[in-house]
Copies of this chain bind each other. A is one copy, B any other.
Amino acid sequence: MIQVGIVGGTGYTGVELLRLLSVHPEVDLQVITSRTEAGMAVADMFPNLRGHVRLGFSAPDTAALKRCDLVFFATPNGTAMTMVPELLDAGVKVIDLAADFRLRDPAEWERWYGKPHACPELLAEAVYGLPEMHREAIRSARLVANPGCYVTAVTLGLLPLVEREHVDAGRLIADAKSGVSGAGRGAEVRNLYAEAGDNLRAYAVPGHRHLPEITQNLRAAGARDASLIFVPHLAPMIRGIHATLYARLRDPALDVQGVYERRYAGEAFVDVMPAGSHPETRTVRGSNLCRIAVHRPGGGECVVVLSVIDNLVKGAAGQAVQNMNLMFALGESTALDAPALLP
């Protein structure tokens, strides 16, 4: 059994991680810390976990965390980087669900997150936790940076096109729509039901933190000149991301469907749908799958990729568990193979 600790855990990423870990046959949940909720039973905050999680939140306690084999950080950006070095030194493996270790360039990190990085020396070691790109490195990693939600949907949607240079990577467009849980469990007026309901809006068009992360991935995949216009939108739903991706093919004769099917042939969590499909976000609700369909409207040079995930599962907690399974040599799908909840 893997002894697991969680730092944070009062947000949506945390409750989803608890939901998945509570039924994982190889996990023994040891400790969940929360500065604000210490003393409260987890199941009092999240009653769906009554009968499944008996732990309570405890005050931050490095000693207890050091006794774990693995610690997940489900904290706001900027927290993990202050605690990770000590844990790694103690031989604990770490998966950070926040953004602290996602960007390899500390200057870029500081630019987007507004403060200096606390342990830039670890950025080179941290493995970017997208198994479909970095599976082997994840297996042997001490520190995994779990990808952002939009980033997962967009990267998986574009990967087969950019890694073989099938498209003009300098003119990519990603129009993404997210459910409101993606904005977190913080009390913000703009995320109230009466504000976000029956409403749709774009946000952060001038620049969103997931943009440099996507660009870094596309460049890592081989598109050195990758440049993307990224427009996120908030849609009135709880879970789900639908990324609609636009690219120009270099060779209009390319069998795009075949490219995707071959690229993801062995992947348990990427489902390339039949030609002509329109994947719906609800078909992945609660599941770790990314479903993708590719289109060529009018048969022209523009390819339109539709990529859907559950932002809390493949876009956060599910992918973290997938990474854990790899790091501890378990079956990659362990505890991740339940069908999506539909309707």
Contacts and interface: CB of A to CB of B under 8 A. Distances in A.
B199 A237 contact: yes
Given A12-B343, A193-B192, A337-B23, A198 B279 contact: no
Contacts of A279: 47, 201
Interface string A3-28: 00000000010010001001100000
Contacts of A341: 19, 48, 285-286, 341
Interface of A: 12, 15, 19, 22-23, 46-52, 173, 175, 177, 179-181, 183, 185-189, 191-203, 205-207, 229-231, 233, 235-240, 242, 244, 246, 271, 273, 276, 278-287, 291, 295, 297-298, 300, 302, 304, 306, 308, 312, 337-343
A177 to B, nearest CB: 5
Given A207-B298, A229-B297, A236 B185 contact: no
Contacts of A242: 200-202, 233
B200 A281 contact: yes
Nearest to A281: B200
A180 B201 contact: no
A239 to B, nearest CB: 7
Contact of A180 (B194, B229, B240): B194
B193 A229 contact: no
A196 B236 CA distance: 11
Contact of A193 (B47, B191, B205, B206): B191
A185 B192 contact: yes
A181 B235 contact: no
A240 B200 contact: yes
